[in-house]
Amino acid sequence: MAEAVGFIGIGIMGKGMCNNLIKGGRSLIVWNRDTKKSEELAKAHEGKVTVCKSAAEVVQKCTLIYSCLSTLEASTAVWPEVQEALSAGKMFVDCATLTPERMAFMAGAASAKGAKFLEAPVSGSKGPAEAGQLIFLTAGDAACKEASKTDMEAMGKATFYFGADMGKGSKMKMVVNMIMGVQLNACSEGMALAEAMDLPVTDMIEILKLGAMNSPMIGLKCPTMMNKTYAPAFPLKHAQKDMRFALQMGDDVGIALPLAAASNEEYKKARQMGYADDDFSAVAEASRGANGAKKQRTS
């Protein structure tokens, strides 16, 4: 039987990942801030899950540890005890989407303690996490990458490794999310224009699906934009934050990104209109402008 591995952070993403690790034959040693989620997991997989009292305990008990905390804030709050607990031989794989700089900082700290570190942000949301269809965008320690290979195959459908340069996994994640944000915003502008000219939007979506632009995103998001149903799969404020990071990266390397810049302002406008916690497809309301729905400002 495969050795137990650690898992820190059993949220929307983490839960699906844990299920797939267990399905792949692992037993887990876990911690989550909200203990209820850890216990649910333990209950669902009897005998396979050990619940710890702290993230540090997870690190102490395992050689290979996965972490999937949802925000930079959560990650920053937990890290100090993790760092404290790391020691020679430990391997830490961080699957969160943080900044390249934060990943580099943690890798540096891990290295100072003799531990190995792999950044491994994932592309894909709740559905792919549950289905074991995530894409891992990894960079950092090669041995750590080898050690997590089978686990990533259990959790995902593809793994990319960008070499030892810490931060490249996070950078790729943000490039991809930037493209996604602009492409969705392109659809929302087209839809707002079609609506204003009294063209049938259902037909517009059908035409897009029949042509070169057909993508899962169009099938998934165009209807939510048309129907103004913005239940958050990917919260708008996070999409906008990733866009801002991408712009910052463009700034660092001196690449102008006029579309991303224009799109970032649209996401900000939607945020200002009160859609920060809705799905990022709510950028459609910014595109609709004075024709759009009005919402009380929530953030």
Active site residues: 173
Task: With residue 228 as reference, give the H or E element that holds it.
Answer: none
- Residues between 232 and 261 that touch a second copy (CB under 8 A): 240, 244, 246, 249-251, 253-261
Q: x-or-dash pattern for a second copy, window 81-100, by CB under 8 A?
A: --------------------
Q: Is the CB of residue 22 less than 8 Å from the CB of residue 15? A: no
Using CB under 8 A as the binding criterion, the count of chain residues that bind a second copy stands at 80
- Residues between 157 and 216 that touch a second copy (CB under 8 A): 157-158, 160, 162, 165, 168, 171-172, 175-176, 178-180, 182-183, 185-187, 189-190, 192-194, 196-200, 203-204, 206-208, 210-216
Closest separation in Å from C-beta 285 to a second copy: 10
By beta-carbon proximity to a second copy, the closer residue of 35 and 299 is 299
113 lies in the binding site for a second copy (CB under 8 A)? no
What are the Cα distances from residue 81, in Å, to 18, 56, 84, 96, 128?
Answer: 22, 5, 5, 17, 30
Closest separation in Å from C-beta 221 to a second copy: 8
Residue type, 52: C
Q: Is the CB of residue 257 less than 8 Å from the CB of residue 274? A: no
- Residues between 258 and 287 that touch a second copy (CB under 8 A): 258-266, 268-269, 271-274, 287
Nearest-angstrom CA–CA distance, 264 and 37: 35
Contacts of 32 by beta carbon, 8 Å cutoff, 6+ apart: 8, 9, 10, 11, 14, 38
By beta-carbon proximity to a second copy, the closer residue of 148 and 264 is 264
Closest separation in Å from C-beta 247 to a second copy: 8
Nearest-angstrom CA–CA distance, 161 and 96: 16
16 lies in the binding site for a second copy (CB under 8 A)? no
HSE (side-chain half, CA atoms, 13 Å) at 268 = 8
- Residues between 26 and 55 that touch a second copy (CB under 8 A): none
